Amino acid sequence: METEGGNGVKSLKGVVGQICQICGDKVGTTASGELFVACDVCGFPVCRPCYEYERKDGNQCCPQCKTRYKRFKGSPAVHGDLEEDLPAIDGNNELNFSSGSHGDLQSTTQRLLGWHRTTGSLGDDIEGPSYNKEVPLSRVAYLTNGREASGEFSAASPDRFSMGSHGVGGVKSNPAREYGSSGLGNIAWKERVDGWKRQDKNIVPMSTVEGPSEDKGGDIDANTDILMDDTSLNDEARQPLSRKVSISSSRINPYRMVIVLRLIILGVFFHYRITNPVTNAYALWLLSVICEIWFAISWILDQFPKWTPVNRETYLDRLAIRYDREGEPSQLAAVDIFVSTVDPLKEPPLVTANTVLSILAVDYPVDKVSCYVSDDGASLLTFEALSETAEFSKKWVPFCKKYCIEPRAPEFYFSQKIDYLKGKVETSFVKDRRSMKREYEEFKVRINALVAKAQKIPEEGWIMQDGTPWPGNNTRDHPGMIQIFLGHSGGTEGEASELPRLVYISREKRPGFQHHKKAGAMNALVRVSAVLTNGPFLLNLDCDHYINNSMALREAMCFLMDPNLGKYVCYVQFPQRFDGIDKNDRYANRNTVFFDINLRGLDGIQGPVYVGTGCVFNRTALYGYEPPHKPKSKKAQVLSSCFGRKKNRSSKSSKKGSEKKSIKEMDPTVPIYNLDDIEEGIEGAGFDEEKSLLMSRMDLEKRFGQSSVFVESTLWENGGVPSYMDPDNLLKEAIHVISCGYEDKTDWGSEIGWIYGSVTEDILTGFKMHARGWRSIYCMPKRPAFKGSAPINLSDRLNQVLRWALGSVEILFSRHCPIWYGYGGRLKWLERFAYVNTTIYPITSIPLLIYCTLPAVCLLTGKFIIPQITNLASIWFISLFCLIFATGILEMRWSGVGIDEWWRNEQFWVIGGVSAHLFAVFQGLLKVLAGIDTNFTVTSKASDEEGDFSELYMFKWTTLLVPPTTLLIINILGMVAGISSAINSGYQSVGPLFGKLFFALWVVLHLYPFLKGLMGRQNRTPTIVVVWSILLASIFSLLWVRIDPFIRPVTGPDVQQCGINC
């Protein structure tokens, strides 16, 4: 055949050769001598065996252009073949597997191959098209020193929408040879063909893996609710790194039925309560009805986000096969790990050291892990303790990896009361363990010596070992400090080269600047890590939360590096687990109901809320960018996959501009940090290209701050630091980005990073990400990923709850309140319900306090909030109580939470509600109305080393103890008064007394753990609590006797009716 110009057609040999790009064998020819062409659209070279395999067991489509393979004559029919496929193929197109000469191809094939060609002739290198990249970034060049940032993607991360590796200049590669690339011949194809050739019977067939259903519109995999085109399902989607497992219908369906039934009965209950007022106790009745309506609203907001709970499974073996093959360089993504600390006296250095040691010993490639320790108190004690930790890690980390021990925090490893020889076969283990335990005990003594020395501060301030004054002697006025202990430019060669990087950071602080407490420290860590290592993923841990499962990072990567799911995930949240809590968990420190029920419910919607620690972030999401938009239709997805990169630029720009304009018009409060904005700059406004790029850079610096190195790093999604950057210059830039004035007039804290405006910055930060359309993942591995400490003392626990509640109240009165913020975004309604519940729950303390006071009032006055009920009404009341208990029982059934844990949660909900939550509401109102700020109190992280739970019985005075104690006293007094009155009144008053006593007993039982906490180990209540409580109870009783609204004043007889002798 001839081309349109009349010239003969060049053979494909001049284009891509005769090698199959999947298995590496020769492509072969047809019976007519022509080169076999599996795809008549793009001509991607595939041999006949790979073609047959792909049609039978694969996706039945071309790996390059995703066009469905047509059926050749002689090929067996497969499901989905069209009737017209067979006649459309030339009957002579049979294969000859010899290596003979090849015939010419049709001119149409040659023309179709030209659409994805780069520069040069047909014989030049061909760069494969990049599919599904949401935004081309080739024009965001020359941000630093005139060097161009690469737009290529590495195998360490799936296709996303921002910059890739840190190569310099335009990178051209042979996609057929780079199996890790996102284009042609990727690693998944190589794995498929290798497995097919081996015919390994031990490998589970890919068809048996639970995957997407073609009949349901192309659900991308079982992990996500995002719809994509079926033709994009490649081998990686058929072998997902994780799987979403729904709760069995036998457990979840009865639970849902009870919720619906309870909602119906609740409506009947309120109809009866509102239509049957108590005339002789109208005020009490009205208060009770208002409280009950609020409780019902609160229950709905809390209950319905738990409608679709899910579990998740991860496949670490598949992750290793895909990204971490033995004998090959690891392609796992780099992770920067943040540890934050403030006060070394409340957060002991030994606790922080154990956390750092567990990080350094994590089961992850050494060159992919960097640990950043933020010392917001600029303490020399923390600095020297970290130096000692770095030295000890050179012995501890090799020991952990040699014997695969768990956990890898030495304090908790050596304190385990288990058979540590179980599963150990190395004869040297006992000797090495004994030696390492001795080394750790010596390390503890050195840390204790540092702590003892730090108790008394010298008048002239601390002096470092080299004789220079410690820069942080004034904790409120000091420069920024960075010290690299391990890794590049730190430590010694040899030993240190096998350890992850360890960096000490203390950001600059000056008077007159707002530093934003923990949120500001975390944002400083984000910037300095971007300059020094720039890992695409971040893990943040409190200083007392050590890594309990050395595979935790790999667990998170099963979601974040999943090619289908990962690009939509903003963070992976792990549950918090705690050590050192008493067996009965008196004050619900484990929070099991929240972590095992509520967050699993949210994972079935848009993902769990961020809880402040144990969370692996996608750095791109923290930078305020939006996730890729869900494809609208299958047809559009196919077209965009094949021809999206070659559309007319003007039409593309106008379409994107109109879309962005419409989105921003919907809700101006939701930032559209689309990388399209960066690429286009101010194109179309009459400026030339150079000015457009300059304005684009100015826009980036306005968002991220005046650091060209950091701004450039935000465009590299796959992380890494440019090789041309000098380490000394990087350190100078790192010091610059942690200066106290760096965030001025930028979007830090408002749209980027951790969000300011609340002491619970975690809730606010997660909410902003979900409002942009990101989803989060809840990962619950069998072995807890992280463990920490919790305050077991009653006063410390109440102060912790007070801080959380105060943060929620601050969000409630801010512009970021989920009741009115972000309706133009992509936040799902049930997810919004959950966020609304997290912000208004402190308000429940007011009706709860009133409701807990009503039983005592009813017993003292003889009145009641419910009129005398009929038999039918009693059935509705009993049904409602039964459904309340049934809801809790079925929740425990599907979640696995024990009844004791559920009951402890119910008790502390009342204890915290009438104390900490109540104070939080008033403090929040004072802050909003009068501008009176409250001090941030760091929760004590001291561990219970002696194991006798002495902290549990220690009494610490706080005003939070007064309201619950007062409620206990007046309800107990009311019960005594009610029983005495019933005895004096006779048998007929026992019936009405029963309801009142049940009501009061409900309050006392919920406050029982609080009562035990007041008694302490010696069962003795502190005098000051007794005095205050009796005083308040007496005042309340006297006022009630003096002003009784339910007794009419007696004015004497009516003389006109009765006469003078009445």
Active centre residues (catalytic): 376, 762
Written as six digits, the tokens of 768 are 């902003």
Sequence-distant (6+) residues with CB within 8 A of 662 are: none
Report d(CA 837, CA 841) in Å as an integer.
Answer: 6
383-404 exposure pattern, b = at least 16 Cβ within 10 A, e = fewer: bbbbbbbbbbbbebbbbbbebe
Q: Quick count: other Cβ atoms within 10 Å of Cβ 467?
A: 6
Q: Where are the beta strands (DSSP E) in 50-92?
A: none
Instruction: Tabulate helix, strand, coil % of the chain (nearest 5).
Output: 45, 10, 45
763-782 exposure pattern, b = at least 16 Cβ within 10 A, e = fewer: bbbbbbbbbbbbbbbbbbbe
Backbone Cα Rg of the chain: 34
Written as six digits, the tokens of 397 are 């980390």
Q: Roughly how many angstroms between the first and final C-alpha of the chain, as a whole number?
A: 129
Written as six digits, the tokens of 248 are 């069995």
**Is the Cβ–Cβ distance between 442 and 395 less than 8 Å?**
no
Q: Report H helices in 623-754.
A: 634-643, 649-666, 675-680, 689-704, 708-713, 727-737
H or E stretch at 29: strand 29-30
| Sole residue written with tokens 């190589």 | 190
Q: Is 932 helix (H, G, I), strand (E, B) or coil?
A: coil
**Is the Cβ–Cβ distance between 503 and 532 less than 8 Å?**
yes
Secondary structure of 120-131 in the HEC alphabet? Answer: CCCCCCCCCCCC
Residue 1002 Cα distances to 69, 273, 300, 852, 856, angstroms: 70, 20, 22, 9, 12
Residue 470 Cα distances to 239, 340, 462, 481, angstroms: 55, 20, 6, 10
| Sole residue written with tokens 């895909």 | 322
H or E stretch at 992: helix 990-1006
Q: Quick count: other Cβ atoms within 10 Å of Cβ 330?
A: 16
Residue 565 Cα distances to 48, 130, 159, 223, 559, angstroms: 32, 18, 11, 7, 7
Q: Is the peptide bond before 407 cis (omega within 30 degrees of 0)?
A: yes
* Torsion of Cα atoms, 708 then 710 then 712 then 713, to 10°: 170
Written as six digits, the tokens of 963 are 């309201």
Report d(CA 536, CA 396) in Å as an integer.
Answer: 28
